[in-house]
């Protein structure tokens, strides 16, 4: 089933982990959480493709995991904090993963973060809907209407 387009989907380089993406990525996230146990890490490292068959993954999700394409994992529903467990299994720090995901070296990534992070220029909504000072046309849902769905 195709993902329903959301107002925030046009923010460059951002995959918002919402309820729909959470449901889509359940298999990725359960796989990553399984890596908290040493015996599972060993089984995964012994035969990655075979180990992944234990989880309900799409072919695209399996490919992203095997290729260690972290941005694609997030796009397919992975949660950054869960997918970091895969990086840790491979012996990588979170800083390493963030650098890879942003196309930077670890040194350049660290320097950028120490300097205050990325500029917001060029990293806002492409449609202009979310420009500073603009009012969003969508209204927040009340708690009672959210419960009815």
Which tokens in the block code for residue 24? 């889509």
Confidence of residue 4 (pLDDT cuts 50, 70, 90): confident
Q: Which residue has the higher pLDDT, 23 or 14?
A: 23
On average, the pLDDT of the chain sits at: 81
Q: Is the model's pLDDT at 64 over the cut of 80?
A: yes
Q: In this predicted structure, what is the pLDDT of residue 11?
A: 62
Any idea where the domains of the chain sit in the sequence? 17-91
Highest mean pLDDT among 17-26, 30-39, 113-122: 30-39
Cα angle value 59/14/19 (rounded, 5°) = 65
Helices (H), 10-130: 19-24, 26-34, 38-46, 48-52, 59-67, 70-75, 80-89, 94-102, 106-114
Highest mean pLDDT among 13-22, 53-62, 68-77: 53-62
C-alpha pair distances (Å), 109 with each of 38, 78, 88, 91, 120: 30, 22, 18, 18, 16
Q: Is the model's pLDDT at 28 over the cut of 60?
A: yes
CATH match of 17-91 with 1.10.700.10? yes
């Amino acid at each position: 089933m195709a993902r329903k387009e959301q107002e925030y989907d046009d923010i460059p380089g951002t995959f918002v982990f919402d309820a729909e993406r959470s449901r889509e990525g359940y298999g990725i996230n359960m796989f990553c959480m399984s890596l908290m146990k040493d015996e599972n890490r060993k089984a995964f490292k012994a035969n990655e493709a075979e180990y992944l068959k234990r989880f309900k993954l799409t072919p695209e999700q399996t490919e992203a995991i095997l290729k260690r394409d972290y941005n694609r994992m997030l796009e397919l529903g992975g949660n950054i904090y869960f997918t970091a467990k895969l990086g840790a299994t491979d012996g990588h720090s979170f800083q390493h993963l963030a650098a890879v995901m942003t196309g930077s070296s670890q040194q350049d990534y660290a320097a950028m973060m120490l300097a205050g992070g990325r500029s917001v220029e060029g990293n806002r909504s492409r449609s202009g809907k979310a420009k500073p000072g603009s009012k969003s046309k969508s209204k927040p849902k009340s708690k009672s209407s959210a419960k009815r769905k």
